[in-house]
Each structure stands twice: as C-alpha cells, then as structure tokens.
Chains A and B, each alone.
Chain A
C-alpha cells in the first residue's frame, strides 16, 4: 500500500480527535456525576429514569398524604378517647344517682355536673384541627353540633355532618382520613340523651332506663369508633414506613440507572489520556520525517 503524507496527516488527526472526544465524554460523566444526561445517552435507561422519577414524586406525595391523614386520625382517635372517658364518668355518676338513697338535692348536683360534661363533650365533638372541624364530614368549615341557647337541645349542622374525606396513600389505594359526626357519635342523639337525663335529674327523678340504655349503647359505640380510628392510625403508620423503604429502594434504582460509576469512569479516563499521549507522541515523531530531511539535491 502506498502511504501518502496527506493520508497519514488525516489519519493522525482523526486518531487524536477520537482520543480527545473520548476524554471529554468521560470527563463530562465524572464532572456531572450523571451517566445519562440526555435520552440518546442510553434510551432504555432514560425511560427507566423518567418512570422512576415519576414514581419517586408520587411516593413523596403519598408520604405527605399519609402524614396528613395520620395527624388527622391521631387527633380523631385521641379526641374519641377523651370523649369516651367523659362518657364513662357520666355513666358512673348516673349509676350512683340511680341508687335508691339519693335525694333530690343530690340529684340536682348530678344534673349540674352532667350539664358541665355536656359542654366538654360538645367541645370535643366540635374539635377543630388545622382549620377543620374534624367531625363535620365534608363541611369542614361549619361547626357540626350546636347547643341551643336555652341548653334544651343539641342540633346538627343543617348542611350535614356526613361525608368521608379520602386521600391517596399508595398507587390506587385511597384511605379515609376522617370519621364524620354520624360515624363517630351517631349524630346529635347522644347529646340529647344526656340533656334528657339532666332534665330528669334536675326535676328530681332518676333517669329513665331507656336513656340509661341509650347512654350505655353510645358509650360502647364511641369506644368502638375510637378503636377503629386507632386501627386506621396503625395502618397509616405501617404505610408510612413502607413508603419510606420504597423511597430508599427507588432512590437506589434511580442511582443505578443514572449515576456515573466514578471509579470506573476515572480509570477509563486515565487510559484514554494515555492513548492521547501515545497518539500525540507518534504524530510528533513521524510527521516531520521525509526523504527531504536526509537529502541534499544538487
């Protein structure tokens, strides 16, 4: 094969150019720490990266949702606990009041104590958390239970106290984050039962067995709901930790697809530099040589 100067010049230039290009690519990978910075770097990886990133964003959102639902249900659960414990006190005092020996003055004392309990229970049922009435269903801006000015009855918000609020806590999995007034207390009847008991006591007679039965039922119902909300809390806590571990997993998968293996990139870069040096040296040594160097024509 004939070798010509212009041919070898192009050849050397190409070699040097390739070596430099290789170095630039590797240096970019090391500098950005990203193996894939545009889709054409690795189309399959780019597709996975987009999917993983969107899964991560959802995961973060689900975590926010879960935390939000968790504080809400925590509040619900502890409120219901307090509610049940007051009801239990009321039950005890009524049991005492119903025992034969109590006189009418004693009964009216019980009546006024129940009246106070009523206020406390109402205030619990109208608990506001984070700007929302937690037991008012979806009408979160409206107070669910209102005591009449003459304290003769408790009414429910006319616009309704029902409606569950759901949040997404995982792909396709929605979770209720509230117990509405109907679910938590079966509406205003419990308060009206207490009012009726208070009225009997202040008029000097023992509470009716129907009222007592209703009170017992209400107590066990609220206790049940408190347990239910506790269960939701523990479900949410589980979800929280599984979201956290998913997050870790997704991050590591993303890193696998996207990040540069720095050690290997640097090693490759060093070997590419050696290549470049070799190419430069060979060019520098060979290119200036020609027959003319050794010849003097006369």
Chain B
C-alpha cells in the first residue's frame, strides 16, 4: 500500500536521479572538446518494489552507476599505430635533413662537383703548360673538399642533435610513466572506495597514448586496476611506481636501460626507436659511405699525382695532391694552394705531356669503389638513391599510418566522443522527467491538502 509519503520519497529519488543525469549531460558537454575524454552515461535502475496485496508496486528510480564509454580494443590499436607513426615521422624529419644537406640533384652537389673536379683535369690536359688551368684545378678541388667537409660536419651535428633528442624523449617517457603511476595509485584508492574513477582513467589512457608515440608499449591491467606498462619487454610502471629509463653511450652506440646495466631495452619503434636507429646505424652508415668515397679519392689521386711532374725548373714531383684521410679532413695540399704550378700533369717532366692529368681525370670512369665494382660517381649515386628510397618509404608509411590513425580516432570518437545533439536530446528527456516528477510532488501536495481539508 503506497502511502502519500512514499510517493513523495519516490518523487524525490526521481528528482535526484534526473538531476544526476542532467549533471552528467553538463559534464559531457563541458568536456566535448577535451583530449582523451570519454563520454559518461548514467545508468538508471528501478528501485526494489513494495510488495502489496495486489502485487508489486514500483518504488521509483536510483542511479546504479556512472560509466565511461570507450573501446579499449581501439585504444590498443591506436597505441600501436601511434608508435609506427611516431617512428615514420621522426625518420622522415631526420632523413629530410640529410636530403637537404646532400642537395641533389643540383648543380652544386657533390656529384656535380666531383665531375667538375675530374673535368678540370681534362682542361689541364688540354693545356698542360698553362698555370691558369692549374689554378682552376686547385679551385675545383677546394670546392669539392669543402663540400665533403660540410657534408661530413653536417651529418655529425645531426647525429649529436639526435642524441639530445634521445635524451629529451627519455625525460618525456620518465615523466609520463611517473604520471601514469600517480594515476594508478589514485585509481586503486578510488576503486577500493567503490565507484569507477572515470575521469582519472581517461587521463591515464591519454598519458599512455602519449607514451606510445615515443616507444612501443604493451599495457595490461591487474585486478586492482593498476595499468602495467612495458617498453621493450621491461615493465616501467607497476603498482609500486615507475622505473625511470636512462641512456648509456658506449663508443658510437647509445643503449637504453632501466638503470640496471643488464636490462638493456631494445626500443625499435616510436620516436625514440627512430632516433636510436638514426644515431646507431643510419647516420654512421652515411658517414662511412662518404668517408670511403673521400679516402678513395685521396689515395687514388695522390698515387697518380705523386708520380707526376709539375711545372718549374726542375719540375716538381712527389707532391701529394690532397691531404687528410676522410671526408672530415680532406683538403688540397697547402703547397698547391700557394703554388699551383706544383699540380702535376706530366709523366716525364716535359711541359707539354698530359699523361698524368688524363689519368687522374680518367679515375672518374675507373671502378675503384666497393671492391673495385663501381666508380666513385656510381657509389655516390647509389647512396643518394638509397637515401631517396628510404625517405620515400618513410613518407609512405607516414601517410598510411596517419590515415589509419585518423580512422581509428574517428571510430573511437564515434564510441567515446561527445555528441552535442545527443546530449541535447538527453537533456530534454531528463528535463521533462524532472519536471514531471516535480508535478507529481505538486499533486501529492494537493492530496495532502484535501485530506487536511477533510479533517477540518
């Protein structure tokens, strides 16, 4: 038997439930543009009915739970796309810098300057008795040496920039894992107190997502609700806190560890993975390619040049053309800079002989690189082509992964995003329910009045 008081209580519960629902609508709308926010839903349930002689009489409504709506499957996919995209983007940015340094195809890249250098020896062969042709040879060789040195210097500074990027990323990773640990603790407490800490979970998911751009992460959740995040097989956040990562530089190699030297962490993906690969492999490979090109040029030209004769009485001989042994220190012998007549063109000392000049210019077509299988031009050409192909493939990965990420984000936003239209509709629904419940209280009030009037 429902007393009037019961109806009042029922209506009050309804007011409170609808108020909670309206408040959630407000929260959703307020966070419609918040990064990582998942829409929340109030789950209403009918309260236990009263048993009466004519059956069960409803006793109203209560808020059962407020849950966040999000697909954790999509989250996993977004994280794994994030790390491939992060890697591709970083690769793209590093390699594009190399591409700018290489400056090909152009009229003042290494390829053109190598050609100019060899051709200047042919000009010398045309007039071996001429000192102005020698000045041109020295000048072209200067340009070529400078280009080698610049390229090598630029690659080395890119390498050291990459190292500081690696350090910055480790700082970011450590600050993110510590953030995740803090959320973990708050979530454990909230869970223990009962109720789902939706907003904390959103923020923790966002932090993990940001982490996944830097390195590939795997995430599992334990019973208490702790997110256990691992990078390269090593757990970096657990119930007991986070484990900071640090870098060790040994020789030319950077390795990442959790502080314990035996726990080397193999990071191959994400921005950090891309930087590590660039620092440890890609840039050293490029450097060694141009170093071997420069050192081959130095030895081959010097061997021929030493055996030849320049101008002068008696004609100079046994003079090195280049000094140095790699791309970083290749330079034209300063003796030649001061006196270009020391440039050798002749094989026997006679001023009109051009045999040495021809032989040096012919180095252009000799297979002296890669175990005598390719010319210097070919070797450089294939370096440029490989560089181009690698960038091209990083570009492709980047655009594909961007598309995939866009689609995944769209799907996640379709599940977890706030639709203002939907919220507005819900708002009307809850508003009307609230208004109707208020009306019920009004009616009960008049009923009370009627009873009181009866007594009068």
- Tell which of A36, A174, A292 touches B105, judged by Cβ atoms closer than 8 Å: A36
Segment at the interface with B among A41-49, A189-197, A237-245:
A41-49
B409 an interface residue at 8 Å Cβ cutoff?
yes
Q: Contact check: which of B111, B352, B406 meets A141 at CB < 8 Å?
A: B352
Which residue in A2, A7, A57, A159 is a CB contact (below 8 Å) of B115? Answer: A57
In the complex, what residues of B have CB within 8 A of residue A246's CB? Answer: none
| A60→B413 CA distance, assembly (Å) | 62
CA distance in complex: A10, B380 (Å): 43
CA distance A142 to B89 in the complex (A): 67
Choose, from A77-85, A165-173, A215-223, A280-288, the stretch at the interface: A165-173
Q: Shortest Cβ distance from A129 into chain B, in angstroms? A: 12
A interface footprint on B353-381 (CB within 8 Å = 1, 0 otherwise): 11100100110110000000000010011
Measured between alpha carbons, how far is A156 from B386 in the docked complex, in Å? 59
Interface of B is mostly: helix
- Interface code A126-144, partner B: CB below 8 Å = 1, 0 otherwise? 0000111000111111000
Number of residues of chain B lying within 8 A (CB) of chain A:
66
- A5 close to chain B: CB less than 8 A: yes
Partner of A3 from the list B112, B385, B414 (CB cut-off 8 Å) is B414
One of B2-10, B236-244, B424-432 at the interface: B424-432
Tell me which of A10, A44, A53 has the highest count of chain B C-beta atoms within 10 A of its own C-beta: A53
Interface-facing stretch out of A61-69, A107-115, A264-272: A61-69
Q: Does the CB pair B388–A40 fall under 8 Å?
A: yes
> Which B residues lie within 8 Å of A28 (CB)?
none
Given contacts A38-B388, A53-B111, A141-B351, contact A58 B424 (CB under 8 A): no
CB distance from B297 to the nearest CB of A (A): 15
CB distance from A162 to the nearest CB of B (A): 10
B397 contacts partner chain A, Cβ-Cβ < 8 Å = no
- For residue B387, CB closer than 8 A to chain A, the reply is yes
Taken together as a complex, chains A and B put the C-alpha atoms of A67 and B157 apart, in Å, by 46
Contacts of A49 in B (CB 8 A): 105
B422 with A57: CB separation less than 8 A: no
**Proximity string of chain A (1-35) to chain B, C-beta cutoff 8 Å, 1 when within and 0 when not:** 11111110011001000000000000000000000
Chain A residues near B364 (CB-CB < 8 A): 58
A-B contact pairs, 8 of them (CB 8 A): A38-B100, A42-B392, A46-B105, A53-B111, A58-B119, A136-B352, A163-B348, A292-B420
- Which residues in A have some Cβ–Cβ distance to B below 8 Å? 1-7, 10-11, 14, 36, 38-44, 46-47, 49-51, 53-54, 57-58, 60-61, 64-65, 68, 130-132, 136-141, 159-160, 163, 165-168, 171-172, 174, 258, 290-292, 295, 297
